[in-house]
Copies of this chain bind each other. A is one copy, B any other.
Amino acid sequence: MVEAYVTIQTGAGTARDVVEQLRTLDNVVKASIVAGEFDIVAEVEADSERDLLGLISDDIQQFEGVGRTSTCIVLG
């Protein structure tokens, strides 16, 4: 199991919509709108790095309003 934190910059005025959509995904453990350098922090998990890439590229980044994403894989 690969765990990761994904930070997301959202388009103007879209943070609420994006966080609602993220929360519908099974592999998203938790998602919060935050104040700071990015707009949303999501805790995700996947079976492998390849599946993690799929979750980010094919699910998360497909939601309207999702801009820059940065992925921090949990090492320990």
Contacts and interface: CB of A to CB of B under 8 A. Distances in A.
Chain A: interface size category: 35 or more
Nearest to A65: B12
Contact of A57 (B15, B32, B58, B74): B15
A33 B74 contact: yes
Contacts of A50: 75-76
18 contacts: A2-B49, A3-B32, A12-B61, A12-B62, A12-B69, A14-B57, A15-B53, A15-B76, A32-B74, A32-B75, A34-B75, A35-B35, A35-B52, A36-B73, A37-B37, A41-B72, A49-B74, A52-B75
Interface of A: 2-5, 9, 12-16, 19, 32-38, 41, 49-50, 52-53, 57-58, 61-62, 66-76
